[in-house]
Structure 1
Amino acid sequence: MALLVGNPAMPLVTAGVVFVFVGTVMIFFGNNSKGVEFFVESEPEQAIVYVLARGNLSLDEKDKLLKQAEEIVLKHPGIQTAFAFAGEGGLNNNTGGAQSPKDTIGRIQLETIPWEDRPEKVTPLFTVPLLGFDINRTTQDPAYDGDVIIAELSEQLAALPGIRTETLNLAMGPASGKPVHLRIKSDSFDDLMSATAQVRAEFEEVPGLTLIEDTRPLPGIDWQIDVDVEKAGRYGANVVAVGAMVQLVTRGLLLDTMRVESSDEEIEIRVRLPEDDRVLSTLDTLKVRTLDGLIPLSNFITRTPVPKLAEINRVDQKRYLDVKADVAPGLMKVVKTTRIDGVDVDTTLATLRPAGNDADITTADGTAFKITQRTEAARGTDLVAEIEAGALRLLPINPNERIAEITKWLDEKPLPFGVTTEWTGDQEDQAESQAFLSSAFTAALGLMFIILLAQFNSFYNSVLVLLAVVLSTTGVLIGMLVMDQTFSIIMTGTGIVALAGIVVNNNIILIDTYQEYERYMPRIEAIIRTAQARIRPVLLTTITTMAGLAPMMFGLSLDFAEGGYTIDSPTALWWKQLATAVVFGLGIATALTLLVTPSMLAIRVWATTYIRWIARLLAKMSMGRASKAARDWALQRDTRRRMAEEIIWDTDTLASTQPAQASTSASPLSPAE
């Protein structure tokens, strides 16, 4: 520590190296991270399969189509239970606002085998060098993973003729609808329909997007009845009477309302024509009573077939339609990076999905994938060999990554004039959560700064304490890279906010001790003594905290009741990113704090010393030798040249002289004295 702060150059070098290291880590993370996600992705144990078909189907016909899908679901070995319901209704599930598609004829709710009850599989962990002995571990069979089951069911259900299926993942975590949710707005309905069809076609082409739907009206015909008011007036008929006759054919003419004991709401009393006469052709034979007698309605009304329009939705006084999609979980993309004009350009070669026994590629950590889509750029490329050689990278496909790809397409191929788009749904929730965590983080730093300023009575020391928060963020980014994790807005963001209140404790201890020591010793010596005195408690508290969170970071769950342990259970996956943020953030921040804090304190000491020296030199040069500043300068110079006087206190001589002095003082005075 004396070498670090004992001269003016080393503190500057140390602080500069640390800040360059922090900047390098942030740049490297931006170029090599696995992206950002809203919440931790966990494998589902429940799902809803929507069976879709169009046409005027009876309930029995819907049930027959639903049974075909139900048989496929029940045959899968990974399904524990399934509940099917044809027609409207079904179980009331928390789908986070994800409404069923408009052409749904039935739904199947399924539950997979619980994680702890799944069959086990023995996989090799590593081989002992020289001995050739294999160390194995027992894990749950990956073929029973919830994501794998849903992917296999989706492929099997897609082969059913006459129907389509959509599978909604009911994963744990905050309930939400489909994460890729684009809202299209326009004042022109024709442009809105055209833009929606164009965006829907692009969604179909983007790999990884599933359960694609839009809110365009379903194909159908509505009959528009127009009344020629002028011609009706000639016959003495009014619009009210004509409307009443039309209601007799449609929903009925309201007469009154009544209350019954079995209902809290009023029941309408309507009069309608007999069921056989409730057809549009009846309007040609109906007659309306006028002053001139009965006049046929067909004399002044016309029927025109128009496209069916089920509903009209507006936001900010503009009509809008939505295009929604989900992202298949666990997908990866194979990326090849090439440098063009000094810029790294990523090209996607293929898309991979989680696989069981039909795997095409197995990564170094044992994860199995199957190639589902190859791009034109992958033609003639041996993907397996290139991936094993490290020439290609595997990057996760998540909603944020797909949204970025579609946003790039929207920028390159603009929609018709007057059409605007905005991302809603999960993207909107993510932006709100990110804004909340950012404001909470800023408020926490502000409150800590006020408390530190009141305690230390120094702006410099207060800012220096909060500098540990920036260093801890660097540690979090390193943890994401080392543990190969995605940055989670909720869990990682919460870890950073919590970490801000932990890492400042080390700086508080160091600076508080330094302020105490500097009262009675030189300030450089106080910095050295502070580091020597406080390094042990700082390291002990950091190591114990990191050790306590290490099992959570590695996904280790201990069963104290029945014994044993599990790794990467669905519940443990929730906390891995938060624990990783705290462990790496605290460890890296502590190591850097023990270097930066003494260096920054020494920089202030040396800067103050040199500023005073330069000020006195300037004062001497400007005021002359007779000035007070010049005399002080000369006195300090002479003092430094004069060797300090050394006083040697001989304890033996002192001990021998003290008895003689005592006896002399005790003798009586002589008469002469």
Structure 2
Amino acid sequence: MNTIIQAAIQRSRASIMLLIFLFIAGISAYQSIPKEANPDVAIPMMYVSMSLDGISPEDGERLLIRPMEHELRSLEGIKKMTSTASEGHASVMLEFDAGFDADQALADVRVKVDAARSKLPSEAEEPVVNEINVGLFPVLSVGLSGPVSENQLVYIARQLQENIEAIPEVLEVDIGGDREDLLEVVVDPQVLEGYGLDYQQLFNLVSNNNRLVAAGSLDTGAGRMSMKVPGVIEDLDDVLSMPIKVDGDTVITFADVATISRSFKDPLGFARINGQPAVVLEVKKRSGANIISTIEQTKALIDEASSRFPEGMHINYIMDQSKEVKSMLSDLLNNVLTAVVLVLILIIATMGVRSAVLVGITIPGAFFAGILMIAALGYTMNIIVLFALILVAGMLVDGAIVVSELADRHLAEGQTPKQAWANA
């Protein structure tokens, strides 16, 4: 340590250049480092979600939860398993021991869920494994409301969802209040009876025609080309023009016996903003992305699209975490400036201007050095890092004052400035 101190004092110009470089690099790192409210903390909990329309809680426990629990109980590191069944839905919550490997645990759970899938009813939807991570919580909630039709409101929300998810820093966008599309088919029983058909024949006809048949491959001598018989229904016209019966020269199509219209499934809840129907876009950023930049790009995109919204439609920013991050960064800057000013005033009054300047330089220098190291390690600027930087300011000032006071005492005893500061 003495060798390093002596070398720094003897090469004063190099030390000053290093200090200037530290300030410049620290300021640059402060501008570029990703900023967020909370760090990506892996919470030792996951849950498996299962859905089956119309199933009762009792049947959900027997048909969904028990087969899933049977597979999941063999996982290593599980501390607690909690299951919940409700109408049409069931979930299994897994709590792991502290210090678990999140990636490995997620992979193991997915393997067990895939093994249990064959034991669930065929009508059940695919089980979904969800990990709980505070870094994946929404950072921006945008409410769209106004006196417009529900179809128009959902359409606009889906268009915004697609455009916002194109932003590189955005992970995904969920739509609160969105309703699943439904194709409603109304069959006229009298017409169907007049043509000598029944519902089962109609159902089988649609099911058998909505298939993609692999027909092998064709070897041309120059290469092999796969063959297929496409029969997948792609749009509404494919259904309406489908022939269901041929009587001589007359072809009866699906449109002759039924009417088809687009609709939505029955809502499970309702959203209102100022008494108007509403949907909410919940924006989630990618891990390590700059929350301020992400939200600014999202808002700019929404403002640009708002010119095409129907008259009377309102945009409400219900939650905006970038304001919280900006406030924390502002508090950090204010605390640093306040600490420097108070220390300078106190040391000028007790030890003189020279000591005050030397001590005053150490505070921002240490902050910029810390931020530069945080950026080099790949961490983000979050509430934990900011709290640590503010907390360490008191320790830093104490050390600088002690060294400066001891150097002044050595100077009073007749030592040269280089000797006094080196010994201090």
TM-score by length of 1: 0.39
Structure 2: runs of 5+ lacking an equivalent: 118-122, 183-263, 308-312
1:504–1:202 distance in 2 versus 1, CA, 3 Å? same
User: Residue 306 of structure 2: SS of its match in structure 1?
Assistant: coil
User: Residue 415 of structure 1: SS of its match in structure 2?
Assistant: helix
Distance 1:217 1:4 in 2: 64
Q: Which amino acid aligns with 1:533?
A: N
1:217–1:411 distance in 2 versus 1, CA, 3 Å? closer
Q: Which amino acid aligns with 1:471?
A: G
Q: Establish whether residue 494 from structure 1 lines up as the match of residue 387 from structure 2.
A: yes
1:420–1:151 distance in 2 versus 1, CA, 3 Å? farther
Assess if the C-alpha contact under 8 Å between 2:146 and 2:277 holds in 1: yes
1:465–1:51 distance in 2 versus 1, CA, 3 Å? same
Matches of residues 45-124 of structure 1 in structure 2 within 5 Å? 45-52=44-51, 55-63=53-61, 64-67=63-66, 69-74=68-73, 76-77=75-76, 79-87=78-86, 105-113=89-97, 115=99
Offset of residue 166 of structure 1: 5.2
Q: Could you tell me the percent identity over the aligned residues?
A: 12
Distance 2:408 2:276 in 1: 63
Assess if the C-alpha contact under 8 Å between 1:469 and 1:500 holds in 2: yes
Offset of residue 29 of structure 1: 7.4
1:86–1:425 distance in 2 versus 1, CA, 3 Å? farther
1:530–1:419 distance in 2 versus 1, CA, 3 Å? farther
Offset of residue 476 of structure 1: 1.2
Q: Establish whether residue 532 from structure 1 lines up as the match of residue 422 from structure 2.
A: yes
Q: Establish whether residue 509 from structure 1 lines up as the match of residue 399 from structure 2.
A: no
Offset of residue 398 of structure 1: 0.7
Distance 1:169 1:491 in 2: 22
Offset of residue 468 of structure 1: 0.4
User: Residue 42 of structure 2: SS of its match in structure 1?
Assistant: coil
Distance 1:182 1:158 in 2: 33
Which residue in the other structure is 1:184 paired with? 143
1:211–1:167 distance in 2 versus 1, CA, 3 Å? farther
Distance 1:70 1:25 in 2: 52
Q: Establish whether residue 452 from structure 1 lines up as the match of residue 347 from structure 2.
A: yes
Matches of residues 157-196 of structure 1 in structure 2 within 5 Å? 157=113, 162-163=124-125, 167=129, 169-170=131-132, 178-187=137-146, 189-190=148-149, 192-196=153-157
Matches of residues 504-653 of structure 1 in structure 2 within 5 Å? 504-513=397-406, 515-516=408-409, 526-534=416-424
Distance 1:313 1:432 in 2: 30
Assess if the C-alpha contact under 8 Å between 2:136 and 2:287 holds in 1: no
Offset of residue 531 of structure 1: 1.5
Distance 1:24 1:320 in 2: 47
1:324–1:75 distance in 2 versus 1, CA, 3 Å? farther
Q: Which amino acid aligns with 1:451?
A: L
Which residue in the other structure is 1:466 paired with? 360
Which residue in the other structure is 1:578 paired with? none
Pairs aligned (count)? 324
User: Residue 398 of structure 1: SS of its match in structure 2?
Assistant: coil
Per-residue CA deviation, residues 471-516 of structure 1 (Å, 9 max, x unaligned), is 112321343355x241341232222112222223343234434555
Which residue in the other structure is 1:27 paired with? 28
User: Residue 368 of structure 2: SS of its match in structure 1?
Assistant: helix
1:214–1:485 distance in 2 versus 1, CA, 3 Å? same
Assess if the C-alpha contact under 8 Å between 1:176 and 1:426 holds in 2: no
Distance 1:162 1:203 in 2: 31
Distance 1:205 1:533 in 2: 59
Which residue in the other structure is 2:281 paired with? 323
Matches of residues 131-146 of structure 1 in structure 2 within 5 Å? 145-146=101-102
RMSD: 4.8
Q: Which amino acid aligns with 2:397?
A: V
Assess if the C-alpha contact under 8 Å between 1:203 and 1:212 holds in 2: yes
Which residue in the other structure is 2:159 paired with? 198
Offset of residue 60 of structure 1: 4.0
| Aligned with residue 106 of structure 2, among 145, 150, 153 | 150
Offset of residue 187 of structure 1: 4.1
Assess if the C-alpha contact under 8 Å between 1:180 and 1:399 holds in 2: no
Assess if the C-alpha contact under 8 Å between 1:59 and 1:87 holds in 2: yes
1:447–1:430 distance in 2 versus 1, CA, 3 Å? same
Which residue in the other structure is 1:18 paired with? 19
Q: Which has the higher contact order (CA 8 A, sep 6+)?
A: 2
Matches of residues 432-451 of structure 1 in structure 2 within 5 Å? 432-451=327-346
Per-residue CA deviation, residues 117-174 of structure 1 (Å, 9 max, x unaligned), is xxxxxxxxxxxxxxxxxxxxxxxxxxx7233322553577589564255555456xxx
Q: Which amino acid aligns with 1:153?
A: V
Matches of residues 340-419 of structure 1 in structure 2 within 5 Å? 397-398=286-287, 400-401=289-290, 404=293, 408=297, 411=300, 414-417=304-307
Per-residue CA deviation, residues 351-398 of structure 1 (Å, 9 max, x unaligned), is xxxxxxxxxxxxxxxxxxxxxxxxxxxxxxxxxxxxxxxxxxxxxx51
Assess if the C-alpha contact under 8 Å between 2:45 and 2:132 holds in 1: yes
Offset of residue 24 of structure 1: 3.3
Offset of residue 109 of structure 1: 1.4
Distance 2:138 2:59 in 1: 33
Assess if the C-alpha contact under 8 Å between 1:50 and 1:165 holds in 2: yes
Offset of residue 19 of structure 1: 0.8
Distance 1:14 1:197 in 2: 57
Distance 1:187 1:199 in 2: 16
1:441–1:184 distance in 2 versus 1, CA, 3 Å? farther
1:431–1:84 distance in 2 versus 1, CA, 3 Å? farther
1:310–1:501 distance in 2 versus 1, CA, 3 Å? same
1:177–1:311 distance in 2 versus 1, CA, 3 Å? farther
1:505–1:113 distance in 2 versus 1, CA, 3 Å? closer
Assess if the C-alpha contact under 8 Å between 1:469 and 1:504 holds in 2: yes
Per-residue CA deviation, residues 312-341 of structure 1 (Å, 9 max, x unaligned), is 4437x98764333667xxxxxxxxxxxxxx
Distance 1:158 1:208 in 2: 31
Offset of residue 179 of structure 1: 3.7
Matches of residues 185-264 of structure 1 in structure 2 within 5 Å? 185-187=144-146, 189-190=148-149, 192-201=153-162, 213-216=174-177, 218=179
